[in-house]
Amino acid sequence: MTRFVGFTLLGLALLATPMAGCQSPLSAEAYPGLEPLPFLPEMAYQVVPSPDGTQIAYSEKAGLFVVDLATGTPRKLAESEGPISAVGWVGDGRAVTFLPTTLPPITEPGEPIRPPAPAYQYGRLQRVDLATGAVTATALAIQNAYKVVPSPDGRYLAVTSDDGLHVYDAEGDVDTVIATAVWQPVIWSPDSRRLVHITFQADQTSEVVITTIPDKQVTRLAGLGIHMSRMGPEYSCSPEEDKLAWTRDGARLQLVQNRTARSFGLTTFTLDGQQVEDRTLSVADPVNPRRYVDCYRPSPDGRFVVALQMSGESMIPEPSSGLIGIETDTGTVRAVAPPSGFVGWLGRTSRFVIANQTSGRTRYFVADAARGR
């Protein structure tokens, strides 16, 4: 099954080229909260901010790097023969996980022709200790892992892959199968005692599942209206964009999902699955009511939601289209960035990382859901 990164089909394919006579879409005047990240290379992949928002891990040219946002100096942590995947932060940011790959053996002249082999062969999940630089291999061998989500306390690893969602201990020794039909997102509760994910049934209906770890007590929130085949008017937003978040105190779960082309729902549940609040927030543009909004991303503490606002005419962005930030308490909407791929939130703040493509060049920025126009 194909997985999309950022804002799916739009992602990095969108062009944000300024029109003649218009402000540059990347100017400070257009977006007051926009800050460039010039130290992130154009070919950076698997870009993942640390839980506290002070560092960013990424892979580039089969190397694993981490960069401190305060200094902007990248540090190489490890390398691999082939592409690196499953980059994730352990606990409070003391270590980084990654999945290396090896190239298939080459048939030398005169040797028997080898049978076809996969382009890359996956090894065991590795962990790099940032303080010592030591690289250790876990017992976990994953094929085609999409994402590794360590628990906040560092005791467990939640892994989504071709065969579903699994939870392992920190060493990768104990495998607990949570689900076999999983779509993003997968999030841990702040106390690491609960894992939440969205799963889809054969009829493409869905449910939110809360699983306690390690005893696997399950609470299911069914009939929430998330549908695997939902598409926007002109492009597809993967259902992974219907997101989950925790309230500021970590005691309740929030579900953010599209309701109409110009509104979204914010539903709050207790940990035992009881709905306690359901709100609909409008994001309609009074100046251009034809514009639609989709691809919602709530902040980790539920205070903000970032979404993609587009013209209803075509996939080509208008000069005023782009990312908007919404305050969930007040419903205040701000234009915060040009059309870009969403990368990740910087800790429990209003700031987040985006990847913007202008004139064929990819550049990374920090945007702020609380600062815009």
Query: What's the pLDDT at 353?
Result: 94
Bridge partners (DSSP) of residue 100 are: none
- What Cα–Cα distance (Å) separates residue 11 from each residue in 25, 249, 342, 370? 16, 32, 7, 22
Does residue 373 form part of some domain?
Answer: no
Structural contact between residues 358 and 26, judged by C-beta atoms closer than 8 angstroms: yes
Which residue did the predictor score with more confidence, 266 or 273? 266
Residues whose CB is less than 8 angstroms from the CB of residue 330 and which lie 6 or more positions away in sequence, other chains included: none
Query: What's the pLDDT at 207?
Result: 78
Domain CATH code at residue 163: 2.130.10.10
Does residue 230 form part of some domain?
Answer: yes
342: left (phi over 0), alpha (psi -120 to 50) or beta: beta
DSSP-derived 3-state class of residue 272: coil
Does residue 252 form part of some domain?
Answer: yes
Does residue 5 form part of some domain?
Answer: no
Domain of residue 321, residue span? 11-368
Q: Render pLDDT for 126-179 as a digit per residue (tens, 0 to 9).
A: 889 999 999 988 877 776 667 788 888 888 888 887 777 888 887 766 666 666
Checking if the pLDDT of 74 tops 90, the result is yes
Query: What's the pLDDT at 144?
Result: 64
What own/partner pairs with CB < 8 Å and gap ≥ 24 does 187-190 have? 187/149, 187/244, 187/245, 187/246, 188/149, 188/151, 188/152, 188/158, 189/246, 189/250, 189/271, 190/152, 190/246, 190/250
Does residue 4 form part of some domain?
Answer: no
How many structural domains are present in the chain?
Answer: 1
289: left (phi over 0), alpha (psi -120 to 50) or beta: alpha
Residue 212: both structure tokens together = 């306690």
Q: Render pLDDT for 94-125 as a digit per residue (tens, 0 to 9).
A: 899 888 887 655 555 655 554 444 445 667 88
Structural contact between residues 100 and 81, judged by C-beta atoms closer than 8 angstroms: yes
Which residue did the predictor score with more confidence, 334 or 358? 334
Query: What's the pLDDT at 233?
Result: 35
Residues whose CB is less than 8 angstroms from the CB of residue 112 and which lie 6 or more positions away in sequence, other chains included: none
CA distance 373 to 371: 7
Residues whose CB is less than 8 angstroms from the CB of residue 346 and which lie 6 or more positions away in sequence, other chains included: 49, 53, 69, 352, 353, 366
Query: What's the pLDDT at 108?
Result: 58
Does residue 3 form part of some domain?
Answer: no
- How much is the mean pLDDT over the chain? 76
Checking if the pLDDT of 28 tops 80, the result is no
